[in-house]
Amino acid sequence: MQGKHLLRGLVSATLAVGMTTAMAAPTPAVPTAAAASVYSQPPKEILDVMRASPPPSPSLSPTRDKLMLVTMQDYPSIAKVATPFLRLAGVRIEPGNRSQHDTPGGYGIPPCVSAIDLVQVADGKQTAVKLPADACPRRPVWSADGQRFAFENITNEAVELWIGDAKTGAVRRLPGVRLNQMFGDQMQWMPDQKTLLVKQVSARTGPPVAPPGSDGPGIQESLGEKGQSSTYENRDTLRNRHDEELFNYYGTSQLALVDAATGKITPVGKPGLYEELSVAPDGRHVVVTEIRPPYSYVTTFDRFPKQIDLWDLAQRPAKDANPIVRQIAALPLADRVPNRGVPTGPRNFTWRPTDAATLVWAEALDGGDPKVQAAERDKLMLLKAPFTGTPVEITRTEQRYAGLSWSEQPGVAMLSDYDVNRKWRRTWQLNVDDAKNSRRLIWDMSVDEKYSNPGSPVHRRLANGYSVIRVDGDSIFLSGAGSSPDGDRPFLDKFDLKTQKGERLFRSGKTSYEQFIGFAGKDTSRLLTWYQSAEETPNAFVRTLGAATTAETGEPGYASTSVALTRLTDPVPQVREIKKRLVKYKRADGLELSFTLYTPPGYKEGTRLPTILNAYPLDYADASKAGQTTGSQATFTRLRQYRLLLLSGYAIIDSAAFPIVGDPRKAYDTYTEQLVANAKAAVDEAVRLGVTDPNRVGVTGHSHGALMTANLLAHSDLFRAGAATSGSYNKSLTPFGFQNERRSVWEAPDVYTKASTFFYADKLKTPLLIVHGADDANPGTTPLQSTKLYEAIRGNGGVTRLVMLPHEPHWYAARESNEQLVYEMLRWFDKYVKNAPATAVSADASAK
């Protein structure tokens, strides 16, 4: 059928919908003012669930006597998402208030906090924090003494700084503070916990204005040197001289110290393009990273030249001068950093928490290139106050430095390195003060190892605000997801560093999902946990550890009693009628896989249902790790996007394991074959269970999952329709690698072609819904990817529909956009899956 193009205006953008086939009338939408606008809505039973308040998330105070419950806004309005912004070297900044319009990489507008409640751990007494009217607060940040919390509040004119009293819940604005969010690090508590270091908006005059036609040409030049930079959306990098002027204007900040009690503002240094700020435990010295020209039109600001200086806040320099005591580094433009590599020169600065002012950083020994053969890749350097001496080398790592976690005891630190080629991580116990550079290997394993993952060290906050690994004698505590063949069961262990033996203190039950939040109080005999199940709303519990009793836990080694601290209720009890279960099965080659199977309210066993499969392919170097089960069927069920179709009678094959297994240097040689094998195994198992109707199966995925969706329609006959959101369908547009593929398109042209659905558009005859955010800045998934795939399918006579969501980034933010998405998915799958005419199925499926 001849294509139709529907263009509907909204503010200054459009909602573009292209169709190549006539569609049945949509399911009736709830009659509201919004429904009469350019956006469509799903049925009321779905809207009611989408608009319900989400559960809060817990934040334990550093003193462990108060629990903060923070409820986030699920969806901002399209009016907020459509707020004008500037694209300046990878930052999307709203010029009216200097707030970041988007998170790095285009992953959505940071959500507003809708409610804050303070709960006393001792008795459960709860105090609601009265937020300002029409507020858009960001997540609060505790002071280390637990007496206050600070948060940013976004208004139309400014990013304000607010302080909250942890005892009363009272909050107040600190007048005269206008934060600049351009490069982050705009607000942090100083070690005295009475003062905050902030980045203030410094400009008092208007921004530079370019008369029409005065932009001039945008010029780039390469003089023969190789350099494989990541793929960025061109409109988010600088383009011309005027963009550079805007970058300077909006990026310039005035550093200042703000007294949390009085609100007194003390400027520090002169205005500049300050990026990272790292304050020493003494509260006096600060590592300041300042961006310097010349800028690049190829990369984002994080690769621009940097001046890294050490400041002394006790100095009182002359006006328009900075209190610099030492230059640490002058880093050049890093626009040719190798893929999966690091820039040369000092990086990853950290202060030693238990010293007044001891600075540590890493430097590459291999040019930052993982392809270079090198016995040692990084070295760690240390420099102590008064910073007049020569930096001392602490140690070297054979693979890329991956972090140094300090403990509360000076002689205990955890050093990690990472092998990008093997996806392998090692962790040592290191004594930084040992001149012999002695260290002891603690963990040595694949980053994909889930079942034997020891977890992460439990930290606590020192009085100076620094987070350190908590130590109890010779032991530390480890908290982890507890992945197992039966799903995730979070745990808490006590781990002896000398014997390297662990003692299990707590593990979540099999029918619930309970996570360790922190210790409740000063000792370690009581735990604060976040408990939930498929039927029970998440709530905080206090657990008291006791003698192990196998009868109580069903397992040997630990026991505890618990008391509810909070009693939050279920905002959408109708969702509890949905059932889910963990399903394990094997791929044709014997690889063990799993998915979570959801069935709709009122489902009767043995009834075959229309089914939607959702997955996201992951790359594995080791087949034994690819089949490990993750996730839990015992979590509190929440419905978003495709899962909302459960309320319309669909079954959902969710989080289906889709491993791409092989040597990272050539795993994508068999990418499409493994995709089809993964999908067939999952669908066949759901059919075998008697839940899925093999004639009525759809598939959906986001980002790399969207490419999976399109490729499954092009290379298999398992599905009746697909819905792909924010995908990348022509990999030649990301020519220097994608996902775990390291080769360039010139080195492996056949691999790029075979992985790209665009080149198979003439064979794609299964209906495909394509959705994309019109302002997607995620590298590789520019809106052009979806536009060109739609045009290719349309031109070859395929059945497709393109929905461009105006103002949306890679993950869709606005309430109206998400309602449109669910409406589109339901409309599409109702026509082409649920109500599709009968057709022949594969012999394997028929045999089921």
The residues annotated as belonging to the active site are 703, 776, 810
110: DSSP letter: P
Other beta carbons within 10 angstroms of residue 433's beta carbon come to 11
Lookup result for tokens 């080398």 = 393
Q: Is the sign of the CA dihedral 260, 262, 267, 273 positive or negative?
A: positive
Lookup result for tokens 């790292």 = 278
Closest CA to 305 of 344, 279, 268, 362: 344
Closest CA to 306 of 339, 342, 273: 273
Distance of CA 128 to the CA centre of its chain: 29
Residues 710 and 722: beta-carbon distance below 8 Å? yes
Integer Cα distance of 460 and 64 in angstroms: 9
Closest CA to 195 of 137, 264, 140: 264
607: left (phi over 0), alpha (psi -120 to 50) or beta: beta
Integer Cα distance of 334 and 341 in angstroms: 11
Those residues whose C-beta lies under 8 Å from the C-beta of residue 190, and which sit 6 or more positions away, are 196, 197, 257, 279, 283, 465
In DSSP terms, 72 is beta-bridged to 113
Query: In 242-391, at which residue ranges do the beta strands (DSSP E only) sit?
Result: 253-259, 265-272, 274-279, 285-291, 306-312, 324-331, 347-351, 358-364, 378-384
Tokens of 552: 């109580």
Integer Cα distance of 691 and 19 in angstroms: 32
DSSP 554-602: SSTT-EEEEEES--PPPS-GGGGG-EEEEEEEE-TTS-EEEEEEEE-TT
Q: Is the sign of the CA dihedral 595, 598, 604, 608 positive or negative?
A: negative
Closest CA to 596 of 647, 657, 552: 657
Where does residue 266 rank: exposed (0-12), middle (13-18), buried (19+ CB within 10 A)? exposed
Residues 149 and 162: beta-carbon distance below 8 Å? no
Those residues whose C-beta lies under 8 Å from the C-beta of residue 212, and which sit 6 or more positions away, are none
Residues 565 and 542: beta-carbon distance below 8 Å? yes
Those residues whose C-beta lies under 8 Å from the C-beta of residue 159, and which sit 6 or more positions away, are 97, 98, 99, 152, 153, 178, 179, 180, 181, 186
